[in-house]
Amino acid sequence: MTKHDSHAIADVHHELHSHLPPEPALRAKALESLLVEKGMVDSAAVDAWIEAYSEQIGPKNGARIIARSWVDAEFRARLLADASEAITDLELQQGHLIAIENTAELHNLVVCTLCSCYPMGLLGMAPTWYKTAAYRSRSVREPRVVLDEFGVGLSADIRIKVWDSTAELRYMVIPQRPAGTDGWDEEKLAELVTRNSMIGTERDLSKYVGAQS
Determine which one of 33, 43, 84, 115 is catalytic. 115
Determine which one of 43, 54, 69, 116 is catalytic. 116
Determine which one of 117, 139, 165, 197 is catalytic. 117
Closest CA to 143 of 71, 67, 91, 203: 203
Determine which one of 43, 54, 84, 112 is catalytic. 112
Our measurement of the distance from residue 132's CA atom to the centroid of its chain's CA atoms, rounded to an integer in Å, reads: 14
Distance CA 165, CA 126 (A): 13
Distance CA 164, CA 100 (A): 12
Distance CA 201, CA 147 (A): 6
State phi, psi for 173 to the nearest 5 degrees.
-80, 135
**Exposed e or buried b per residue across 101-124, where buried means at least 16 C-beta atoms within 10 angstroms of its C-beta:** bbeeeebbbbbbeeebbbbbbbbb
| Catalytic residue list contains 116 | yes
DSSP string, 88-130: GGGT---TTEEEEE--SSEEEEEE-SSS----HHHH-SPPGGG
| Catalytic residue list contains 115 | yes
| Catalytic residue list contains 197 | no
Catalytic residues: 112, 115-117
